[in-house]
Amino acid sequence: MTLTIGIIGAGRIGKIHVDNLRGIQQVRVKSVSDVVIEHLESWAVEKHIEVLTTNYYDILKDPEIDTVFICSPTNTHANIIKEAALAGKHIFCEKPVSFTIEETEEALEVVKKAGVKLQVGFNRRFDSNFRKIRHLVQDGQIGNPHILRITSRDPQPPGVDYIRSSGGLFMDMTIHDFDMARYIMDSEVVEVYASGAVLVDLAIGEAGDIDTAVITLKFANGALGVIENSRRAAYGYDQRLEIFGDKGAAHADNNRANTVEVSTAEHVTKEKPLYFFLERYTQAYIDEVKEFAAAILGNQPVICSGFDGIQAERIAKAASQSLETGVPVKLEQVGRSTATY
Amino acid sequence: MTLTIGIIGAGRIGKIHVDNLRGIQQVRVKSVSDVVIEHLESWAVEKHIEVLTTNYYDILKDPEIDTVFICSPTNTHANIIKEAALAGKHIFCEKPVSFTIEETEEALEVVKKAGVKLQVGFNRRFDSNFRKIRHLVQDGQIGNPHILRITSRDPQPPGVDYIRSSGGLFMDMTIHDFDMARYIMDSEVVEVYASGAVLVDLAIGEAGDIDTAVITLKFANGALGVIENSRRAAYGYDQRLEIFGDKGAAHADNNRANTVEVSTAEHVTKEKPLYFFLERYTQAYIDEVKEFAAAILGNQPVICSGFDGIQAERIAKAASQSLETGVPVKLEQVGRSTATY
Amino acid sequence: MTLTIGIIGAGRIGKIHVDNLRGIQQVRVKSVSDVVIEHLESWAVEKHIEVLTTNYYDILKDPEIDTVFICSPTNTHANIIKEAALAGKHIFCEKPVSFTIEETEEALEVVKKAGVKLQVGFNRRFDSNFRKIRHLVQDGQIGNPHILRITSRDPQPPGVDYIRSSGGLFMDMTIHDFDMARYIMDSEVVEVYASGAVLVDLAIGEAGDIDTAVITLKFANGALGVIENSRRAAYGYDQRLEIFGDKGAAHADNNRANTVEVSTAEHVTKEKPLYFFLERYTQAYIDEVKEFAAAILGNQPVICSGFDGIQAERIAKAASQSLETGVPVKLEQVGRSTATY
Amino acid sequence: MTLTIGIIGAGRIGKIHVDNLRGIQQVRVKSVSDVVIEHLESWAVEKHIEVLTTNYYDILKDPEIDTVFICSPTNTHANIIKEAALAGKHIFCEKPVSFTIEETEEALEVVKKAGVKLQVGFNRRFDSNFRKIRHLVQDGQIGNPHILRITSRDPQPPGVDYIRSSGGLFMDMTIHDFDMARYIMDSEVVEVYASGAVLVDLAIGEAGDIDTAVITLKFANGALGVIENSRRAAYGYDQRLEIFGDKGAAHADNNRANTVEVSTAEHVTKEKPLYFFLERYTQAYIDEVKEFAAAILGNQPVICSGFDGIQAERIAKAASQSLETGVPVKLEQVGRSTATY
């Protein structure tokens, strides 16, 4: 049995998925669509893409294709999800599913009715450090969790134009951390308090966003959590996590390009963290599509469902409201839904 | 010139100060008072204490004594401070100064008028890890601070009786972290949001306190902070700190009894953190009295003033109010005072 | 331009090279030969191998093929190298080139006359840790090297049958470390003293070999070196290196599957080293064939030449003589050659 | 019961012992002798030394004194040991006992006949890192030891004048490592091969000594060992050790002044090792005299006996012979004795 795949949107992340899918047995990447395709032609030949089109309906209508990857801009996701689901395709959709809870809920209901599989692209769930911690928690080696801490800092902020259309720090960047919080804790977030500041670049503040945040979470299991964000860490991509429970704690440090430590008269140095997500999560990107393919081929649940997607969005929304109002916000006040998609 | 010292209160911490003071040149520990002294007699002989009394006025009235250490229960501190100041003695007072801002403010005003020196026993300021970070921040090596994180967990909760009279987690335990936050950041806390939980021991909750907390701070310089507390870390005393700024970050890890790493077929292990404050802060306790003595002998400012004491109490008070009300509390709403003592 | 490749010997390492070569643009793996091929047929189809043969002359005679990989047993290497060189093929040969210096020297002379490129499979030169150290040394950041230490321990000894035909510990296992010593130090070994023991398994001793060794090296630049070997480290594959010079030292630690550290009441643990060479050197195996292909396509020198192969063998031979005689052996006494191949 | 102590030789190490002895209950440092004492007078008053003399016989003849510390130059040790033993005093003697095996053997025989206790000042046995490793080995947690590695490098060479009268690198510096090897391995060294070089300072070579060494050891239990020495590590005092056995390995890293790690755009740095032996072995110097006092008061064996002293000297002697002859030297060829002192 072979999975035949169409890719909708061939930007940076779409191309990464093509490369990673090509390394999987039982997978055939047949078609790619994008709004402009001239610059993609030699790339498509080299990657043995059979169909390159500006019209993604060419993918949705193709009966050979059973699975689509939605890698187009966020504001197109919800609509294409619905169309793909109605066309009976399994769906891998980049995060976030949409910018509004309502749109996401609508899209997921269509997916649910269609009975197709949908995986949301929270790639960090597949990182070997965080997976190890998830397993330790599930195995009870940390005991009952008491405090979760996530440190998540980018090496450089995106351009202000990107920020303006990003949905804001919480929806664009912290949404990964909100998903990670649920993944590690295996319990829902029930309340969020967000404090934020503009400390990296005043232009980000002028664009109506923040670049620095400390967010407190309360979980249904009674535990507490905290997320620290910055749009710019001078030393590179900072992706750490610690879970503390009644039997102990587990901490995931950053990855580095090598293990070398150098001692001189001036200081003792080691390598900085890997620069950004493409370096840090190289293997996670490979594993997320490999396991997505395996889930479809084996008719198993996906690791990261539509419900996971919507819950992360609800927490992001609650964080935004908290930042605006200056007080904690309960998750039950955000979105209408606790149904599993 | 010699400093002649009287110790008021010879419990565990009073005895530690006696030992540490005896190691300092130019210091003579002349007198010790406590409410019960029978069990102290052979100890006092061995330590060459000249006067052992149940009446601390014997110390305050002694014209030879120029400096007192107040190591009695917290509810006696404010009164003794006032009496000692009026008697013209320099004062080292254990933390917290008192349980109410008002009492502390009154006591510090008397100290101010009397023109004597007062140091509050925030011993962690003298720890070599945290001092190193303070120096890095002051030297500008981290740049402008953006986020401060303090992880502070005890190995075991005190008995519930102690907890009942402790003033609560924030006043008893977190007060050290509140002081550390100001010390590292070198900027005042302007707002506090405290989330707390009873996860370690239900009896602590029944006593009206919490045992787990995540506290968000906002500083006058615009930076954010977070403190994580637990009354019980299975692996020992957890005392870490990280400051993140626009030029980089500095992180202080725990201290361990040795550097040995053991690799076997089962795992790779290293030593746990030093068990509790007596082990971790041994040198800090020595250095705080050494530098206090040096400040008096050299007529220099103390490292940790009465103002530092009261500010930590105000933050603790704000945290308690935040926990009670569920919303952030501004520091200006707590206590009447921003005067420097 | 495309490199067309034939693989001679499709055991474990031959198959790894096929996978890694297939990931390189401008490379076509056309043919594979092995003495038995029935079990390889479906594998060859899946990998798009065009010719599967029991006769490696089918590869040497194929005018389309410009490059061969020699992955057959060591005792066949020298002969096939000569035949391939006479057939005008570029050659990648697994280590060691042969079991005797004389055979290796003969083969390399044929290669030299034929003017083809030859790379020896010392994969560890391509490991990111060791490369980093090589660069530090070359950049002068360590200053003049004084002492090199290589720790190299396998997780499990091979079977005694393998050991009997392995050429002995020094030729089979330490040969990688001898090559690494020259690579890092960038200076020739001039004297070797080897001490050895049978501590892991008496059967290894009965087979005439040792399983534990400490080897002292003297380099032409005056520096000293030491290699520590064991056939069995309970905790996994131990591959560390330290270079010490007059400006400082650089140390490469082991790689681990994740960065997680777990603290419990019992201990603080982290992941063991990656289990064995397939896990530890995954990327190095990829990079060695990628850079070999690039060297041929770009007509550049290879990273690991025939001369490097023979020098490692000479050091292994000297170590064996030292172990036998109990005294240090000068390298000039081993083999006839210092010519560069 | 009180130990009354006389100190013979009040140079740097003599003074350190005075300070450390004064911190021990049941110990009275009564007398100090040195060849010149004018500059010691105020120091002696401050330390409550009762007798300050240029004649060490004033100490040996004093019936109140039961224990002497010999901290005079090495060439006086053997003679004073004999005199002190005949006077019935217990003896703490700095390392090495003497520069010749014969002198040391003679002195120890007198000690043995006199029935007094003698401890040799191998302070590193009392270091918490190395003790931990010793305990791990004794507890069998490493299994049967296979390979021991000691890395021992000073931050700066002593002056050439010192080197000329030092007895050479092996007797002056490596002697600590030879003792450590026996202490950790709990088995005698049976053969030594030493390779050395002059890489730090040509003047050291002109003085007839070396400054860099790699020494291979064979132990009676079949295990192998290696010691790496340098007179100058740019980054400070380097004191590490690793024991590898059939159940695993234990490694002791250097100590540092704090645990702070700093990450900037340039690099990630941590503190260098503590600068030299006074900083690194502060606590070990305290513990060696504390345990010596306890051994006498409790009539227990000392941790580091005269036999330990002579064995270290024999290994140093064997290393020197090996360096001179270029071949391994068996320990049985050095000195006449295997008797326990």
Q: Which tens digits make up the pLDDT trace of C38-94?
A: 999 999 998 889 999 999 999 999 999 999 999 999 999 999 999 999 999 999 999
pLDDT for the residue numbered D337: 55
Q: How far apart are CA C296 and CA C294, in angstroms?
A: 5
A268 touches chain D (CB under 8 A): yes
Cβ–Cβ of C259/A254 closer than 8 Å?
yes
Q: Using pLDDT thresholds of 50, 70 and 90, give the confidence band for residue A335.
A: confident
B272 touches chain A (CB under 8 A): no
Q: C326 to chain D: which residues are within 8 Å by CB?
A: 327-328
Counting one residue from chain B and one from chain D, the pairs whose CB atoms sit within 8 A come to 82
Which of A226, A249, A326 is nearest residue B214 as measured by Cβ atoms? A226
The answer to whether C255 and C129 have CB atoms below 8 angstroms apart is yes
Nearest-neighbour CA in chain A from D256: distance (Å)? 11
The answer to whether C235 and D249 have CB atoms below 8 angstroms apart is yes
Q: How far apart are CA B328 and CA C102, in angstroms?
A: 82
* Tokens, residue D140: 């069998």
Q: How far apart are CA C223 and CA C182, in angstroms?
A: 12
Which of B264, B271, B272 is nearest residue C234 as measured by Cβ atoms? B264
Cβ–Cβ of D235/A270 closer than 8 Å?
no
Angle B286-B287-B288 from CA coordinates, rounded to 5°: 95
Work out whether the CA dihedral B226, B229, B234, B240 comes out positive or negative. Answer: positive
Across the beta sheet with D3-8, the strand order is D51-53, D27-33, D3-8, D67-70, D90-93, D118-120
pLDDT at B82 > cutoff 80? yes
- Specify the CATH number of the domain C125-280+305-333: 3.30.360.10
Classify A3-123 by CATH class: alpha beta
Q: A253 to chain C: which residues are within 8 Å by CB?
A: 259-261
A140 touches chain B (CB under 8 A): no
pLDDT for the residue numbered D93: 98
Q: Using pLDDT thresholds of 50, 70 and 90, give the confidence band for residue C153.
A: very high
Q: Which chains touch A (3 or more CB pairs under 8 A)?
A: B, C, D
Q: How far apart are CA C272 and CA C282, in angstroms?
A: 17
Mean pLDDT of D118-145: 98
Q: How far apart are CA B302 and CA B120, in angstroms?
A: 9
The answer to whether D163 and D211 have CB atoms below 8 angstroms apart is no
Please give the span between the terminal C-alpha atoms of chain A, in angstroms, as a whole number: 27
Q: Look at the block and give the residue holding tokens 């020297």.
A: C105
- Asked if the A125-276+305-333 domain carries CATH number 3.30.360.10, the reply is yes
Q: How far apart are CA B9 and CA B71, in angstroms?
A: 5
What's the whole-model pTM score? Answer: 0.95
- Comparing alpha-carbon positions, the chain A residue that sits nearest to B247 is A234
D265 touches chain B (CB under 8 A): yes
Other CB atoms within 10 Å distance of the CB of residue B195: 23
Q: C321 to chain D: which residues are within 8 Å by CB?
A: none
pLDDT for the residue numbered D316: 97
Q: Specify the DSSP element, H or E, that contains A190.
A: strand A189-197
Other CB atoms within 10 Å distance of the CB of residue C250: 25
C57 touches chain B (CB under 8 A): no
pLDDT for the residue numbered D29: 96
DSSP strand pairing (A67-70 vs A90-93): parallel
Q: Specify the DSSP element, H or E, that contains D200.
A: none
Cβ–Cβ of D238/C248 closer than 8 Å?
no
Nearest-neighbour CA in chain C from D189: distance (Å)? 14
ipTM of the complex: 0.94
Q: How far apart are CA D258 and CA D235, in angstroms?
A: 15
Q: Using pLDDT thresholds of 50, 70 and 90, give the confidence band for residue A89.
A: very high
Q: Specify the DSSP element, H or E, that contains D51.
A: strand D51-53
Check whether the bond before A96 is cis (ω within 30° of 0).
Answer: yes
B269 touches chain C (CB under 8 A): yes
- Asked if the D124-275+305-333 domain carries CATH number 3.20.20.140, the reply is no
Residues of chain D with CATH 3.40.50.720: 3-123
Q: How far apart are CA A182 and CA A307, in angstroms?
A: 11
The answer to whether C217 and C227 have CB atoms below 8 angstroms apart is yes
A139 touches chain C (CB under 8 A): no
Q: How many CA atoms lie within 13 A of A79 on its CB side?
A: 8
Please give the span between the terminal C-alpha atoms of chain B, in angstroms, as a whole number: 27
Select the residue from C144, C195, C324 to test the D interface by mutation, using most D Cβ atoms within 10 A: C195
3-class state of residue C127 by DSSP: coil
C28 touches chain D (CB under 8 A): no
3-class state of residue B8 by DSSP: strand
CA C258 and chain centroid, separation: 26
Q: How far apart are CA B205 and CA B246, in angstroms?
A: 40
Which of B250, B261, B262 is nearest residue D260 as measured by Cβ atoms? B250
Which of D234, D235, D263 is nearest residue A235 as measured by Cβ atoms? D263
Q: How far apart are CA D41 and CA D49, in angstroms?
A: 9
Q: What is the pLDDT of residues C125-148, one digit of tens each?
A: 999 999 999 999 999 999 999 999
pLDDT for the residue numbered C340: 54
Mean pLDDT of A41-54: 94
pLDDT at A340 > cutoff 80? no
Residue spans of alpha helices (H) in C23-119: 41-46, 57-60, 74-86, 101-114
pLDDT for the residue numbered D218: 98
Q: B219 to chain A: which residues are within 8 Å by CB?
A: none
Nearest-neighbour CA in chain D from B282: distance (Å)? 13
C141 touches chain A (CB under 8 A): yes
pLDDT for the residue numbered D339: 55
A190 touches chain B (CB under 8 A): no
What average pLDDT does chain A have?
A: 96
The answer to whether C34 and C40 have CB atoms below 8 angstroms apart is yes
Cβ–Cβ of B249/D258 closer than 8 Å?
no
Q: Which CATH number fits domain B125-274+305-333: 3.90.1200.10, 3.30.70.141, 3.30.360.10, 3.50.30.50?
A: 3.30.360.10
Q: How far apart are CA A139 and CA A160, in angstroms?
A: 43
DSSP strand pairing (D260-264 vs D268-270): antiparallel
D251 touches chain B (CB under 8 A): yes
Nearest-neighbour CA in chain A from D258: distance (Å)? 13
Cβ–Cβ of B234/C264 closer than 8 Å?
yes
D241 touches chain B (CB under 8 A): no
For helices A128-138 and A175-185, give the axis angle rounded to 10 degrees.
Answer: 30
Q: How far apart are CA D236 and CA D238, in angstroms?
A: 6
pLDDT for the residue numbered D335: 79
pLDDT for the residue numbered B335: 79
Which of A234, A263, A273 is nearest residue D272 as measured by Cβ atoms? A263
Q: Report which residue type is found at D99.
A: F
Other CB atoms within 10 Å distance of the CB of residue C62: 18
Give the residue from A243, A224, B256 showing the smallest Cα distance to C260: A243
Select the residue from B226, B235, B242 to test the A interface by mutation, using most A Cβ atoms within 10 A: B226
Q: A218 to chain B: which residues are within 8 Å by CB?
A: 195
Q: What is the pLDDT of residues D63-79, one digit of tens each?
A: 999 999 999 999 999 99
Nearest-neighbour CA in chain A from B255: distance (Å)? 16
Which 8-state DSSP code applies to residue D209?
-
Q: A263 to chain C: which residues are within 8 Å by CB?
A: 248-251
Q: B255 to chain C: which residues are within 8 Å by CB?
A: none
The answer to whether A280 and A274 have CB atoms below 8 angstroms apart is yes
Residues of chain B with CATH 3.30.360.10: 125-274+305-333
Cβ–Cβ of D263/B249 closer than 8 Å?
yes
Q: How far apart are CA A2 and CA A5, in angstroms?
A: 9
Give the residue from A56, A70, A57, A61 showing the smallest Cα distance to A118: A70
Q: Using pLDDT thresholds of 50, 70 and 90, give the confidence band for residue A339.
A: low
* Long-range contacts formed by B52-56: CB under 8 A, 24+ apart: B56/B6, B56/B8, B56/B80
Q: D326 to chain C: which residues are within 8 Å by CB?
A: 327-328
pLDDT at D341 > cutoff 60? no
Q: C233 to chain D: which residues are within 8 Å by CB?
A: 244, 248-249
Nearest-neighbour CA in chain B from C267: distance (Å)? 6
Q: How far apart are CA A114 and CA A83, in angstroms?
A: 10
B247 touches chain A (CB under 8 A): yes
Please give the full DSSP string across A99-120, using - where no structure is assigned.
Answer: SSHHHHHHHHHHHHHHT--EEE
- Comparing alpha-carbon positions, the chain B residue that sits nearest to D245 is B264
pLDDT for the residue numbered A337: 55
Counting one residue from chain A and one from chain C, the pairs whose CB atoms sit within 8 A come to 82
Phi, psi (deg, nearest 5) at residue B52: -125, 120
Cβ–Cβ of D197/C235 closer than 8 Å?
no
Q: How far apart are CA C272 and CA C269, in angstroms?
A: 9
Mean pLDDT of B271-292: 96
Q: C149 to chain D: which residues are within 8 Å by CB?
A: 149, 151, 228
Q: How far apart are CA C194 and CA D214, in angstroms?
A: 13
What average pLDDT does chain C have?
A: 96
Q: Using pLDDT thresholds of 50, 70 and 90, give the confidence band for residue C217.
A: very high
Q: Which chains touch D (3 or more CB pairs under 8 A)?
A: A, B, C
Q: Using pLDDT thresholds of 50, 70 and 90, give the confidence band for residue A239.
A: very high
pLDDT at C337 > cutoff 70? no
Q: How far apart are CA D341 and CA D335, in angstroms?
A: 14
